[in-house]
Amino acid sequence: MPRKPSSEVLDIGGREVTITNAAKVLFPGPKYTKLDVAQYYVAVGEGALRGAGGRPNMLVRYPNGIDGEFFYQKRAPERRPDWVDVVELKFPSGRSALEIVPRDAAALAWMANLGSLELHPHPVRAEDLEHPDELRVDLDPVPGVKWAQVREVALIAKAALEDVGLVGWPKTSGKRGMHIYVRIAQRWTFDEVRRAALALARDVERRAPQLATSKWWKEERHGVFVDYNQNAKDRTIASAYSVRPTPNATVSAPLDWSEVADCEPEDFTLANMPRRFKRLGDRHAGIDQRAGSLEALLELFEKQGGGDAPWPPHYRKQAGEPARVQPSKRKLPVIEIGRAKRKEDALAGLERWKKRHPKVQEHLEPADILVDSMRGRYTTWTRVRVNLQHVPEKLRPAQEPLDPDEKTLSSS
């Protein structure tokens, strides 16, 4: 069959992968195309597969580029090459789905052809879906926190891991945060891995209470949130070498610990990462040889005596879990500003609210602005709230009609 004029056929390890509409621009600023993304994943394939290969992957598709709508796709397309592997996952919701399991660079290029910019693997191998081989530390700064603080918390987390005999492998998230991956023996359940991650988060907070927090509710956070819930079953985060939907196509860059103190997220892009990879190789090349034990972290959890932390709402109630009641509904003066499909629209509503309440704005701290990315089954939407805890009571405005008010998104 003759190829369409707009397509390109890549020969990758003896497999032919057709990139349809190859010249389609996915990143308007630097004008990177779908073919550019596919060729990028081929260039860094060895490293990308070390992070996402052999694991079920959720697709996050940007068919019209980073400025268009995107959607999550758990189910593998029915029409796929016979050499693209899949495995059936069962989720906490009771649903199940066949997900893509990339095993070679050709599979990565085929995923890129679907407009899937990021790699979102689960922390399990396809051969054992109930026992993670990876503990994930997600360092998520609250609004207003500088990148230097994220780097500082990462180094504190490194020390905390070393004290329990574990090796952490850092990488930029490609956006505002940093991830640390820890290979572990495939002995523990998802619940046990989450419990170990919670113990680590609390230990990092103990070591640097002014810099880091383990508090689950956004209203109570400050500094850098050490997100242990990324270890709950069905959670995925962008893995190493993932291209992120940013204006200059930053990527999630594996780092050596010696690079952490001076790195910047903008240092690593789709354009320059292949050169770095060719020069230095994969900074996480030794990760699979350093699988460790969670026993010390689980013992630390018991010694800390803090019990479990709240789980996300669609998970079953856990033994010893505290009430899933937001602090804003118990004690904190939090009001909601708006909901929108696009983050920019939600933030524009926040700016209109600030103009209506200039005296209130004078008392707000960066962490008082709560911007939540809410994930539905297939899409995301943004909710903006404001914590008025630092505003004198006489100046606190009442809850107003939401602006914008795209309520239908809450059930997407």
CA distance 254 to 169: 8
Confidence at residue 320, expressed as pLDDT on a 0 to 100 scale: 61
CB 59 within 8 A of CB 120: yes
* pTM > 0.75: yes or no: yes
Torsions phi, psi of 190, nearest 5? -60, -45
Confidence at residue 318, expressed as pLDDT on a 0 to 100 scale: 63
Contacts of 313 (CB under 8 A, 6+ apart): 324
Confidence at residue 62, expressed as pLDDT on a 0 to 100 scale: 95
Question: Tens of pLDDT along 181-240?
Answer: 999 999 999 999 999 999 999 999 999 999 999 987 777 788 999 999 999 898 999 999
Question: Tens of pLDDT along 45-98?
Answer: 999 999 999 999 999 999 999 999 899 999 999 999 999 999 999 887 778 899
Q: For 53, which DSSP code?
A: T
Cross-strand partners of 97 = 89
Confidence at residue 255, expressed as pLDDT on a 0 to 100 scale: 98
Segments of the chain with pLDDT less than 70: 1-5, 310-331, 375-379, 407-412
Confidence at residue 411, expressed as pLDDT on a 0 to 100 scale: 38
